[in-house]
């Protein structure tokens, strides 16, 4: 469990090595194993036989995060408080043995794993750009439980600690050094241990700043008028951005403000109280369910056809050097793949490479890449205006504009140079994969890979399966998405696929409200207050009214006589055809856009869609937005457009921005309670019509299927 080694300089090295695990996990086992070690170290110190301690790992990772299975089930705030206090006491025991302690971090240290390093007096890290450090807990609705918020406040000050905790980023060693999370980098494991020892031998006074009666928090406390004012501004901005729907984010700024005015011991206890409240909040359960368990399930192969070996692409072709194609090329380079980037002319293809270079420079500035990585990365991208360079590619991804004849042309040109094992993927938004696949030389090797924009930042990719797409091709496309750190969601080739089809219901509901006489500004604000990233009218403009209407036309073709026109269609048709306002690409839609892209609601909306509502039920408006999407997701599951609840949740929160605090479209039903959800749908159907009809799939849904797979099934 913990290997204890002592050298002739009285430096003890503790090597974490949990038996029966591929990695070290900070749980009750390792805490229990540390207790006699800490006791022995104190005895050694008292006997004058200890000059310092190095903590490192025998595993690939330094230390993994806590037990999320336990946390998901934890509903008693008192138990959560006690668990946090026990972890804090353990970390204080590490922090105050009376000798300097250095963390020699040889692998990932995230969450509670990084908390252990913060309890050490010095942190030296292996300069491996793939290694990750920090506190991503807020991404799954949590805050650190071991006092990291308090320690980071004392180490960095409130204004520097706050964004690190709020963003929940996983830092590379170079980034971590730049923001002050660590103290030093080493090129090899041996060098890391040598430098750690050298530091220990030079530093004997190891009192932490917070244990020094004269110690101060850098930048001051919330009691200081100027800093107090800036904290209030930060709080207001957070509320404006999140509508206070995310308890963990609000807890971070509130705890920093309160704890800064307290001594360390009191702040430490306060931290546990905040943690207990957040850890047992229903929002936290939703977020753990989706952002941890569902994500792990998809990464583990949910949706991937079974029986096929892992596909490892080495060389990737990308057709189209615009922002989407160049973003895909950057993703491939970043994850170790070689790229051939093609466009209609060499200068256009070269501009795509310049975009990739700009992205590399941006990530180098952040510390993700090192300056010497730039040329290595760019040496692995080849630009061309000829398809013959695709001959050695394992997969080619087409990202040209949405035109069937253009897509068919570039597909044929590329396929002539591909072997029978290579696959071809199209990044279409709305053209059926089956229709495009009919023009392919090998339709069984043809698949949709729908990247969301911007490709290099969004987390989900829709793997769209055409009628002739083989299972092996789907498995390969799935593996390729995983290789470039995407979450692949396998969907059937149906109108709008999954994401656009469900998102469209949000847009249509907003346009319907405009037609009903609600003020446009109110509609947009209610959408955002429900938790959506943007208002429905803004999203309509971004997608383009032509495409919004095309999806509805495809729905009409799909359902035939059963189709009933959505009440938003007349308003959309009027906007596009009569008023000639088709969206952001033309700089005129529901919004006006200046040359720099700054948007303002079009003043003419009130003339063409008069405001007649002077009494608003805001909750009902928000319910309409969210319930419309959940119901449509239910139809997609019933019609086998998407096959798994986990995939539906992830596609909704990552793909188009369904509120993350809900855990996604299907988890939202669990939050509401199935009976309450069905009752509310009945009320909305009675008031607004057929579009709020609940599909059989949702009516017959067993609530247990909404609990994380690893816990319930």
pLDDT of residue 554: 92
Structure tokens at 496: 């709008």
Instruction: Please answer whether residues 555 and 495 qualify as being in contact, where contact means their C-beta atoms are separated by less than 8 angstroms.
Output: yes
Give how far Cα 671 sits from Cα of 100, 443, 630, 688, 706, Å: 48, 42, 12, 23, 10
Q: What is the pLDDT of residue 709?
A: 67
Tokens of 42: 């104190």
DSSP bridge partners of 381: 339
pLDDT band at 26 (very low <50, low <70, confident <90, very high): confident
Average pLDDT over residues 130-146: 95
CA atoms within 13 A on the CB side of 223: 7
Q: What is the average per-residue pLDDT within 19-42?
A: 80
Q: Is pLDDT of 461 > 60?
A: yes
Token digits of residue 313? 């692409």
Measured in degrees and rounded to the nearest 5, phi and psi for residue 417 equal -110, 0
The answer on pLDDT for 284 being more than 70 is yes
Across 490-516, average pLDDT: 96
> Same fold for the domain at 2-280 and the one at 315-492?
no
The string of DSSP codes covering 620-643 is HHHHHHHHHHHHHHHHHHHTTSB-
Cα torsion angle, 174, 175, 176, 179, sign: positive
Give the 3-state secondary structure of 73-126: HCCCHHHHHHHHHHHHHHHHHHHCCCCCEEEEECCCEECHHHHHHHCCCEEEEE
Return phi, psi of residue 342, to 5°. -120, 145
Alpha carbons 507 and 128: distance in angstroms, whole number? 44
90 class by beta-carbon count within 10 Å (0-12 exposed, 13-18 middle, 19+ buried): buried
Instruction: Tell me the CATH number for domain 2-280.
Output: 3.90.226.10
- For the chain, give the mean pLDDT: 94
> What residues are paired with 423 via a beta bridge?
395
- φ, ψ of residue 587 to 5 degrees: the values are 70, 15
What pLDDT does 24 receive?
77
Closest residue by Cα to residue 553 from 610, 489, 496, 471? 496
pLDDT score at 710:
63
The mean per-residue pLDDT over the stretch 56-66 comes to 88
Q: Is the pLDDT at 65 greater than 80, yes or no?
A: no
In this predicted model, which residue has the larger pLDDT, 308 or 19? 308
User: Rounded mean pLDDT of 196-211?
Assistant: 91
* Selected residue with higher pLDDT from 64 and 362: 362
Q: What is the pLDDT of residue 713?
A: 47
| CATH topology for the 315-492 domain | Rossmann fold (3.40.50)
Provide the 3-class DSSP secondary structure of residue 563: coil
Residue 389's pLDDT is 96
**Phi and psi based region of residue 172 (left: phi greater than 0; alpha: psi -120 to 50; beta: remaining):** beta
pLDDT score recorded for residue 98: 80
Lowest mean pLDDT among 311-320, 361-370, 525-534, 559-568: 361-370
C-alpha distances out from residue 519 to 157, 374, 505, 620, Å: 44, 50, 19, 15
3-state secondary structure of 269: helix
**Rounded-to-integer distance, Cα 477 and Cα 565, Å:** 36
Residue 539 has pLDDT above 80, yes or no: yes
Asked if residue 712 has pLDDT above 60, the reply is no
**Which whole number is the average pLDDT over 138-162?**
97
Q: Which of 60-69, 80-89, 151-160, 690-699 has the lowest mean pLDDT?
A: 60-69
CATH code matching the domain that covers 499-640+644-709, chosen among 2.60.120.10, 1.10.1040.50, 1.10.579.10, 1.10.287.70? 1.10.1040.50
The whole-number average pLDDT for the span 235-252 is 96
Range 372-379 average pLDDT = 93
pLDDT band at 283 (very low <50, low <70, confident <90, very high): very high
In this prediction the pTM is 0.93
Q: Is residue 548 pLDDT above 50, yes or no?
A: yes
**Which of 32-36, 198-202, 452-456, 690-694 shows the lowest mean pLDDT across its residues?**
32-36
Residue 254: predicted pLDDT? 98
Sketch the domain layout of the chain as residue ranges. 2-280, 315-492, 499-640+644-709
Q: Give the lowest-confidence range in 640-654, 659-673, 695-709.
A: 695-709
Confidence of residue 711 (pLDDT cuts 50, 70, 90): low
In angstroms, the Cα distances linking 516 to 308, 404, 510, 571, 611 are 53, 37, 10, 10, 8
Which of 92-96, 435-439, 577-581 is predicted least confidently? 92-96
Res 206: pLDDT: 81
Over residues 300-344, the pLDDT tens digits come to 999 999 999 999 999 999 999 999 999 999 999 999 999 999 999
State yes or no: pLDDT of 430 exceeds 80.
yes
Alpha carbon distance 155, 118 (integer Å): 9
């Amino acid at each position: 469990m913990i290997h204890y080694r002592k050298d002739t300089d009285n430096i003890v090295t503790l090597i974490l090595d949990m038996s029966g695990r591929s990695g070290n996990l900070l749980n009750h086992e390792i805490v229990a194993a540390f207790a006699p070690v800490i006791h022995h170290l104190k005895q050694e110190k008292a006997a004058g036989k200890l000059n310092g301690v190095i903590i490192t790992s025998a595993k690939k990772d330094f230390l993994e995060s806590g037990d999320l299975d336990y946390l998901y089930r934890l509903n008693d705030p008192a138990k959560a408080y006690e668990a946090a206090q026990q972890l804090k006491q353990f970390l204080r025991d590490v922090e105050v043995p009376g000798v300097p302690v250095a963390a020699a971090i040889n692998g990932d240290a995230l969450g509670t794993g990084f908390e252990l390093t913060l309890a050490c007096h010095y942190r030296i890290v292996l300069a491996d750009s793939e290694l990750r450090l920090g506190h991503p807990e807020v991404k799954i609705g949590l805050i650190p439980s071991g006092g990291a918020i308090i320690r980071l406040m004392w180490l960095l000050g409130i204004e520097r600690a706050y964004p690190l905790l709020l963003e929940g980023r996983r830092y590379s060693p170079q980034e971590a050094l730049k923001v002050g999370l660590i103290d030093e980098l080493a090129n090899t494991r041996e060098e890391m241990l040598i430098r750690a020892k050298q530091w220990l031998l030079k530093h004997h006074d190891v009192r932490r700043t917070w244990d020094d009666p004269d110690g101060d928090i850098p930048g001051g406390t919330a009691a200081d008028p100027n800093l107090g004012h800036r904290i209030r501004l930060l709080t207001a901005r957070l509320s404006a951005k999140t509508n206070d729907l995310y308890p963990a984010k609000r807890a971070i700024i509130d705890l920093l403000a309160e704890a800064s005015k307290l001594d360390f011991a009191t702040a430490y206890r306060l931290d546990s109280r905040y943690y207990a409240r957040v850890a047992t909040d229903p929002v936290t359960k939703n977020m753990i369910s989706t952002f941890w368990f569902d994500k792990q399930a998809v990464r583990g192969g949910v949706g991937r056809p079974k029986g096929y070996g892992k596909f490892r692409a080495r060389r990737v072709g990308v057709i189209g050097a615009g922002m989407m194609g160049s973003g895909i090329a950057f993703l491939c380079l970043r994850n170790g793949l070689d790229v051939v980037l093609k466009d209609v002319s060499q200068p256009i293809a070269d501009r795509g490479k310049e975009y990739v270079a700009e992205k590399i420079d941006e990530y180098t500035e952040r510390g993700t890449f090192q300056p010497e990585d730039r040329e290595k990365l760019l040496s692995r991208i080849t630009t061309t205006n000829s398809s013959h360079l695709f001959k050695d590619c394992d997969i080619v991804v087409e990202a040209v504009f949405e035109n069937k004849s253009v897509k068919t042309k570039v597909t044929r040109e590329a396929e002539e140079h591909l072997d029978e094992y290579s696959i071809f993927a199209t990044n279409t938004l709305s053209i059926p994969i089956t229709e495009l696949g009919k023009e392919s030389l090998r339709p069984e090797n043809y698949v949709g890979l729908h990247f969301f924009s911007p490709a290099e930042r969004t987390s989900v990719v829709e793997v769209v399966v055409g009628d002739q797409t083989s299972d092996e091709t789907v498995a390969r496309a799935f593996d390729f998405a995983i290789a470039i750190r995407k979450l692949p969601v396998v969907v059937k080739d149906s109108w709008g696929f999954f994401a656009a089809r469900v998102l469209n219901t949000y847009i249509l509901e907003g346009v319907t409200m405009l037609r009903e006489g609600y003020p446009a500004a109110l509609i947009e604000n209610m959408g955002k207050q429900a938790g959506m990233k943007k208002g429905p009218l803004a999203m309509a403009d971004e997608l383009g009214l032509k495409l919004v209407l095309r999806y509805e036309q495809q729905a009409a073709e799909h359902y035939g006589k059963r189709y009933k026109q959505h009440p938003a269609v007349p308003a959309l048709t009027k906007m596009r055809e009569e008023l000639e306002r088709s969206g952001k690409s033309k700089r005129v839609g529901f919004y006006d856009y200046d040359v720099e892209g700054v948007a303002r609601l079009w003043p003419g909306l009130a003339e063409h869609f008069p405001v007649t509502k002077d009494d608003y039920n805001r909750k009902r408006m928000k319910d309409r937005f969210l319930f419309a999407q959940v119901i449509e997701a239910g139809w997609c599951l019933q019609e086998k457009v998407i096959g798994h609840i986990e995939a539906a949740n992830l596609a909704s929160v990552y793909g188009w921005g369904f509120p993350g605090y809900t855990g996604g479209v299907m988890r939202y039903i669990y939050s509401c309670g199935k009976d309450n959800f069905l009752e509310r749908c009945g009320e909305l159907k009675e008031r607004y019509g057929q579009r709020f009809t609940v599909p059989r799939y949702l009516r017959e849904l067993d609530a247990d299927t909404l609990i994380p797979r690893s816990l319930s099934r």
